[in-house]
Amino acid sequence: MGTFLETHGSELNERQLAAVSQTEGPVLVLAGAGSGKTRVLTYRIAHLIYDHYIPLDAILAMTFSNKAAREMHERVKHLLGDEGPARLPWISTFHSVCARILRLHGGRLGYTSDFAIYDDADQKSLMKDCMEKAGISDKEIAVDTILHQIGEWKNKGKFFDEVESLTRSSFEETCAKLYKTYTEEMKKVQAMDFDDLLLNTYRLFKEHPDVKNFYQDQWRYILIDEFQDTNELQYNLLREMMNSHRNICVVGDDDQSIYGWRGAKIENILEFDKEFKGAKVVKLEQNYRSTGNILKAATAIISKNQMRHEKTLWTNASDGQKIRLASLEDDREEAHFIVGEMKRLMEQGVSASEIAVLYRVNSLSRGFEEECLRYRIPYQIIGGFRFYERKEIKDILSYLKILLNPSDIMAFRRTINTPLRGIGATSVEKLEGLANISQNPIGVWISQWDAIPITGKARDGISQYRDIMAWGLSEVESRDSLVDLLIDLLKKTKYVEVLEKLGTEESKERVQNIEELLSAVQQFEENFREPDVTEGSLLRRKLRAFLEQVSLMSDIDGLYETAEKVTMMSLHAAKGLEFKVCFLAGMEEGLFPSARSYDSYEKTEEERRLCYVGMTRAKEKLYLTRAERRRVFGSINFCVASRFLKDVPMSAVETVREPAESSGSDYAWRPRIQKSAAQSQFANDFDFDQRVQSDEDFSFRKGERVVHPSFGEGIVQKAEFLGADECLSIAFARRGLKKVLSKFVTKL
């Protein structure tokens, strides 16, 4: 019987074989998307065991997700076969490896082997206790913000006694003090959070050389997957684990480094061959996933980056179908187009599970969800909750529910202390009891209560909530616009203001979700038709119909639990996955690339890498879509095509949908400005449509006085076309600046 490589070497291409065979010294494997990196890692482990007789305990393989670790484990087990060893090498995530070490040696740091691992909720509860002891209110500084800052220090390998000298503001000084208190309290309760698992292992190796030497002697061969995702602490921890033989093999792709916002350092993979002199670099460039046209487009986009190792993906497969580009009039048309294409593909035999919709921000899922429900196409949301199940959306909807039905006790319980007002469970229970005695709906009772029967911190919070309820119940009866009510409700509750102060990536995304809710409400209101039940004010009727629509959508969601489903997810969540058909939606400046990347060259390059990751998820068909107008925070924005679209070569694409021209309308889309002959038709199609307009095109002009049936008198500030309709920006004396269709106003 031959060696492992003699038996299995033919299953590897030339580059893969080189990466597997080079077992000694540092090795950097640059594995392009779909190039077989997991195969290289698993074959390398089997080669070490069978051909070099390396003991199982001498091999350490680490990756970033339990899913990836399980896959590697199963593949190695399969390669070793039934005749192989009963157990396997250490194949696990960074955190699991560190937890295992700390269970064995944590006593050196004062921890028992039974220490608890705290999740996010546990962390927050403990930090609140620390803040209370320090006399710091979570109304002054949000718990999430403090934990985020401490997490940044930990991911840089900084202990609490090292950060005091690094503080640059009173906020950081406060965080440093709380970091110390938090660490001491965690020790008291014998617990560690996820960052502590890495930091305490690093500390263990630094402070106890005998433990470090034990593992250095044991681990003669170290393999790291997804190396581009390592942060500073993980990189330093690896250096502590490695012995003088430097038998370390790191596998990754700098073009797929997309987690800089959570501490990943792309420099770790870019400078590996400089840090480890004599390192062998192997490039895996043959792609086994995508067609030639998809790779051609993805390569054209990523090649614009400067911070990367030069490499070019190629395939033996055919060019396949061209990438399909669609420019739609607005976000509703974009969702309608994508779901229509899904339906057509499924009728042609494509499985729903082979179709994915990818987007830069989770809030974009709302339109696609509603279209899927309309056409009864089963779907699942990965990397996030369904839109109407997200916490911030349920919070805001609960406010609307209790304004519509003041007896809704569940809505009351969700809103009374949201955002935080210092109202505890005991106070809530007392309020509910008093409302029962009064025999009034709790929303009405609390809105009319003058002498609040609560003392202490909760009293002010209840007073604030009482004022919101009194205002809201009155407004529901006197207003007409549901959008205006929601905007003012957000101001009254300070819900968005609190999220913006947090300043975390999660809080920013939650604000975007609320903006998307406003867009949904605006869309609903534009298409509102009087329901069968017409009692109550116009706003009450709108509110009743909207909440019913949302509730029915939630009921339908449960119909497809056993069916194949279309997948919707953010581009970050899509990394490592593949689908036969992918739709990349929202390809617009400010959305993708994100506007938050504009102030940094490094962030812009990461956005480009994110685009590359998204495109290379597709095996056979790839769609790129954009909307010319998108509803944002209740208003309509005209959108500029993403710069990434301009990088895609003409030979790899076809335009399948442009904004429809209005036939027989007085106000059709105006012709595009002519560009030079040197510019491609593709660039024309996906440039921002600068329409030739003059005052003569509009029935209303800037400065004219008009009257609206609900908003009263106002002065026209701007006129523009919204599809076939004339849309006016009007400054109303009583209602401020609003956009309305011209057919709803009259000249004075």
Nearest of 379, 229, 305, 328 to residue 587 by alpha carbon: 328
Is 534 considered catalytic here? no
- 728 within 8 A of 742, measured Cβ to Cβ: yes
Is 617 considered catalytic here? yes
Q: What does DSSP say about strands 116-117 and 379-382: parallel, antiparallel, or unpaired?
A: unpaired
Residues 226, 331, 515, 589: which is the catalytic one? 226
Q: Which residues pair with 624 in a beta bridge?
A: 325, 584
Residues 195, 196, 225, 229: which is the catalytic one? 225
Q: Give CA separation, 246 vs 38, 40, 53, 421, in Å.
A: 22, 19, 18, 55
Exposed, middle or buried: residue 121 (CB in 10 Å: 0-12, 13-18, 19+)? exposed
Is 693 considered catalytic here? no
Residues 22, 38, 181, 504: which is the catalytic one? 38
Residues 617, 621, 631, 657: which is the catalytic one? 617
**600-606 contacts: CB < 8 A, separation 24 or more?**
602/260, 602/307, 603/260, 605/305, 605/306, 605/307, 606/257, 606/258, 606/260, 606/261, 606/266
**Distance between CA 690 and CA 692 in Å, rounded?**
7
Is 226 considered catalytic here? yes
- 225 within 8 A of 252, measured Cβ to Cβ: yes
Is 206 considered catalytic here? no
Could you give the 3-state DSSP secondary structure of residue 491?
A: helix
Is 225 considered catalytic here? yes
Look at the block and give the residue holding tokens 């990523």: 302
Q: Give CA separation, 108 vs 148, 157, 187, 233, 516, in Å.
A: 28, 19, 13, 20, 51
**Distance between CA 608 and CA 301 in Å, rounded?**
7
**Distance between CA 9 and CA 284 in Å, rounded?**
16
Residues 15, 37, 44, 212: which is the catalytic one? 37
Residues 149, 256, 291, 299: which is the catalytic one? 256
| DSSP symbols for 506-567 | HHHHHHHHHHHHHHHHHHHHHT----S---S-HHHHHHHHHHHHHHHHHHHHGGGTTS--EE
Looking at residue 537, its amino acid is S
Write out the catalytic residue numbers: 37-38, 225-226, 256, 617
